[in-house]
Each structure stands twice: as C-alpha cells, then as structure tokens.
Chain A
Amino acid sequence: MHSEPLLQIAGLNLRYGSSHVLHDISLTLGARPLTILGRNGMGKTSLCNAIIGLAPHFSGSIRLAGTELTGLTPEHRARLGIGYVPQGRRIFRSLSVEEHLTIVAQKGGDWTIERVYETFPRLKERRRNLGDRLSGGEQQMLAISRALLLNPRLLVLDEPTEGLAPAIVSDVVALVREVSQQGMAVLMVEQNLHAALAAVEDAAILVGGEIVEHMSAQALATDPAMQKRHLALELA
C-alpha cells in the first residue's frame, strides 16, 4: 500500500490567455470517492483536463501515486492508470460499440469485454451499432465501459449524468458506487447535486476556479444553506 494518497494536487493554477481559470487548487484523493461540484463555467472541466493532460499550460503539481504528471502526455497518463469519461461522452462516431471495447481491452484485468456485456446487456444487444446511432444513455454506458476496460487506478468522470433520463442517472450512480467499493478511486465532476452526493462520500465545491468548501457528502446533503450559497439550487 502507498502511504501517500493516490491523487495529490498542489498549488494548481491554470490560465487561458488572460483569464485565470483555476486558482491554487490543492486536493488529495484516496480511497474515499470525491465529487467536485460547481455551476457552469466554474472550472470543473478545466480541472479534469489538467489531470488528464489535455490542458498543458498550468503551474503547480499533480501527482498520481507519487509520479509527477506535469509535462506527461495524455497517453502516458492513461497508461499510468487514469480512466477518463469525458463531458459529452465523446463516443467515436464511426466505431461500433464492439470496436470501442476491443481497441481498449487488455488481457488480465478486472474489467473484460464479457464483464461489460454482463453489466450492460443493452450494449451487447447493440454491439454492431455505430457510436452515433446510440441513445444518450447508451453512449454514457459505453463511455464508462471504455474507461473501465483500461482497468485504471483512478476513474475521472466529467458530468456523467448530464442530459440523461432519471432511470439512467440512477444506473450511473449505482455503477460509480460499485466500482469505488471494489477499490477504484473515483473523481466525479458534477452539476447534478443529488446524483453526485448519492454516488460518492466526499464533496468539494468549486466557485470561480477556487475550491471554497471540502466536506463529506453527507454533511453537504444536510446543509441546504450551503447548497444554496454556492450551487444556487432551487430548493423545493
């Protein structure tokens, strides 16, 4: 076992031109799955991109199990054990469901194509369909499966419930809980407060590129005042 946390972010700053997108982000992620909540434009996707390696110009440090990620390419980071489920799912439109899975599948991991098909029978039924012929829910299942087949140590999900029907949202929540209970570290960026708090144990709130709160999911779930202050939820 590592004594240090799996993901360790320290003093992360990200600028696009003159706009300062992320301010001095510091956070650690270990066994307890974490959600990062925030409204649109607060820097959630930028934070994901910095971890994945798609936003190269940042200062500060991001370490995965002690390995500094700064300067490494996205492909190198993926091989170090980061699985990425991007916002908007980014399914390859000219690949079939099966091709999505076969190009990433590896021998000897926990997640195999058979296990994906057992978990999502719907994907098996549609395995000959092209990516752009799938429904939003099917695409999300495929995007998550694609990341899981890498058998990553850390799963990064960027708004995985966006635009999905409530029944599918609960499926995503259940799956995230399952993989995190089986020992995969989970970082889930979300706008959907209820889904996020149901899926993970810790929550951080991002406002204007800064982490303003960091607490347990349960504490946030029972604190409507804080939800209203930072996330501007309409409370029924």
Chain B
Amino acid sequence: MTLFFIVTLNGLTLAALYFLAATGFSLIFGLMRTVNMAHGALLLLGGYVGFSVVEATGSWGLGVIAGGLAAALAGALVQFGILGWMQGDELRQTLASIAISIIMADLMLWHWGGITYQVTLPELLSGGQRLPLLGVGYASIRLALMAFALVIGVALWFLIQKTRFGAVIRAGVDDQAMLRALGFPIKRIFISVFALGGMLAGMAGVVAASALSIAPGTDLQFLLSSLVVVIVGGMGSVGGAALGALLVGLAEQYGLAYAPTYGAVFTFAIMVLVLAVRPQGLLGRAEK
C-alpha cells in the first residue's frame, strides 16, 4: 500500500509539472492557432535563469520570479520579432518555432554547458514531510510543487474567467476576426498571451529544476509531454491542461511502478484512445 501512495504522489508531482508546462502552450494554441515548438526551450531557459539567480542571490522565490520573467520576455520577443510576422500561416510558424527551439537550445548549451543542474532548495523545502493519513514520508519540495501548480491553476482560471483581459482572450479564441473588427489590437494581445505562456513555462522550468533537475534535453522532454497533455485534455483550456496532465502524469508513474517494461506505452495508449474517441480532447470543443 505504501508503494501505491508513493507512486500516486509521484504521479501527482509529475502532473503538476506537466500542467505548469502545458497550460501556456495550450493557451497560445487556443488563441493564435500557433503550435509553439519553442515552448520547451522557454521552459529550459526559465530553469537555467532561475538556477543562476538562486546561486547568485540565495533566494529561491527570486529565482522562480526571474525564471518566469526571463521566459516571458523571450516569449514576447519570439512573437513580436518572428512568429507575429507569419500570423495565420500555421505551418510556417511551426517550422520557424522549431528553428527557434534549436537555436535557443544551442545558445543555452554554450552558456550553461552540458551538465545537469539542480536548484539549491531553501531550508523550508529541503526536508521531507510525514503525511498524517497516508503514513508515508514525502519530499517537501514536491508537495510545494503540487500546491504551487494548484495556486497557478486557480489564478489562471480567475484571470481568464473573471477579468476583462481574460474575456478578450476568450473572445479571441472564439472568433478572432470578429474581435479585430471590433477594434481590438490583436498584435498586442498576442504578444501579451505569448509572454504569459512563456512566464508559466519559465516558472515550470525553475520548479522542475528544484524538484527534479534540468539538463540539455529537458526542453524536448517537456515539449513532448505538453503536446501529449493538450492532445489528451483538449487545446486551449486551463481545465483541459489540468485533466490531461493528471492522466498523463499518473499513467506514467503507475506504468513505471507496476509494468516497467511497458511503462512508456501507457501514455501513448491514452493518447491514441482519446484521438480515436474524442479527437478534440477530453475537455476540448469541436471545431465548427
């Protein structure tokens, strides 16, 4: 039974990370129809910057903020400088974002090298917690990561459902041409949403570097997981990203623990099943 609880907690940890990584990716796709293949690179950039800031200042919180801001800025620049010029041409954008991803990965390899980094944890998060009901001990940082994902999820839901900016984003997801015909500066909105998605990815990078570790290749690992998560959960919705992340994270960990030979198959089995039965994703809306 202890194994089951630990595996479940590992699955939830992974799900929290996948959610943080995928939700920005999903938001960008939902609004702009851009498949941003540089999303993993933004996440890794956030992780590296966060690591460097924590090393320099000793403050973990400052590292998370700096990682988020660095990736937000990079995301805004990518949209403003490159992808925004080919808006509406999705294939070209996808290919360009692959190029950006490769260039960013090489630049980061040049600056940070090929070694694995783990962010030094603050005292408060470095130990473990004995969980009262389950009777198992678990790393504090992983529990904090789950709480962090929960807070981000609620904040994002509030932003999208309850604010004027969120209403404009939803309107853009529903009917972009109509939103433009009403006078909304679509380019600025796109850049803001790209920055928001980048910020989420960057913060995910710092927490990934804290709870696990980051190295060259982490970018592609999270890009792949984000793709699977949004395919399963449905593109363009926070709830879809959460549900997709939960399913994929748990499936991966249960697979590893109980059927290690076939561990990798479970995730893709879920994806195939969803694509066969509900191609728009579990919480996605069918295209008109």
- Given A92-B171, A103-B167, A84:B182 Cβ within 8 A: yes
Chain B residues within 8 Å of A79, by CB: 183
Give the CA-CA distance A94 to B178 in the complex, in Å: 14
Among B170, B181, B185, B186, contact of A94 (Cβ-Cβ < 8 Å)? B170
Residue of B whose beta carbon sits closest to that of A80: B183
- Any B CB within 8 A of the CB of A54: yes
- B150-200: which have CB < 8 Å to A? 164, 167-168, 170-171, 173-175, 177-186
> Min CB distance, B218 to chain A, in Å?
34
Chain A residues within 8 Å of B179, by CB: 92
The answer to whether B164 and A102 touch across the interface, beta carbons within 8 angstroms, is yes
Give the CA-CA distance A102 to B186 in the complex, in Å: 17
- Given A99-B167, A102-B164, A102-B167, A93:B182 Cβ within 8 A: no
Chain B residues within 8 Å of A12, by CB: none
Q: Interface residue tally of chain A, by bracket?
A: 20 to 34
Residue of B whose beta carbon sits closest to that of A84: B181
Chain A residues within 8 Å of B175, by CB: 90, 92
Interface of B is mostly: helix
Give the CA-CA distance A146 to B178 in the complex, in Å: 11
- B55-113: which have CB < 8 Å to A? none
Chain B residues within 8 Å of A84, by CB: 181-182
The answer to whether B164 and A103 touch across the interface, beta carbons within 8 angstroms, is yes
The answer to whether A95 and B167 touch across the interface, beta carbons within 8 angstroms, is yes
- Any B CB within 8 A of the CB of A7: no
Query: How many A-B contacts if CB must be within 8 Å?
Result: 60
Q: Interface residue tally of chain B, by bracket?
A: 10 to 19
Residue of A whose beta carbon sits closest to that of B168: A103
Chain B residues within 8 Å of A93, by CB: 174
- Any B CB within 8 A of the CB of A164: no
> Min CB distance, A9 to chain B, in Å?
18
Chain A residues within 8 Å of B184, by CB: 75, 103
- A78-119: which have CB < 8 Å to B? 78-79, 84, 86, 90, 92-95, 99, 102-104
The answer to whether A103 and B181 touch across the interface, beta carbons within 8 angstroms, is no
Chain A residues within 8 Å of B167, by CB: 95, 99, 102-103
Chain B residues within 8 Å of A54, by CB: 177, 181
Chain A residues within 8 Å of B181, by CB: 52-54, 74-75, 78, 84, 86
Residue of A whose beta carbon sits closest to that of B177: A54
- Given A102-B167, A103-B168, A75:B173 Cβ within 8 A: no
Give the CA-CA distance A84 to B170 in the complex, in Å: 19
> Min CB distance, A84 to chain B, in Å?
5
Residue of A whose beta carbon sits closest to that of B186: A75
The answer to whether A95 and B164 touch across the interface, beta carbons within 8 angstroms, is no
Give the CA-CA distance A230 to B168 in the complex, in Å: 42
> Min CB distance, B60 to chain A, in Å?
37
> Min CB distance, A54 to chain B, in Å?
6
- Any B CB within 8 A of the CB of A150: yes
The answer to whether A78 and B171 touch across the interface, beta carbons within 8 angstroms, is no
Chain A residues within 8 Å of B164, by CB: 102-103
Residue of A whose beta carbon sits closest to that of B170: A94
Give the CA-CA distance A95 to B170 in the complex, in Å: 7
The 7 A-B pairs of least Cβ separation, nearest first, read A78-B183, A74-B180, A92-B174, A99-B167, A92-B171, A90-B178, A84-B181
- The 9 sampled A-B contact pairs (Cβ below 8 Å) are A53-B181, A92-B170, A92-B174, A94-B173, A95-B170, A99-B171, A102-B164, A103-B164, A103-B182
- Sample of 20 more A-B contacts, CB < 8 Å, known A103-B168, A103-B182: A74-B180, A75-B181, A75-B183, A75-B186, A86-B178, A86-B181, A92-B179, A94-B170, A94-B171, A95-B167, A95-B170, A99-B167, A102-B164, A103-B164, A103-B167, A103-B184, A104-B182, A146-B182, A147-B182, A150-B183
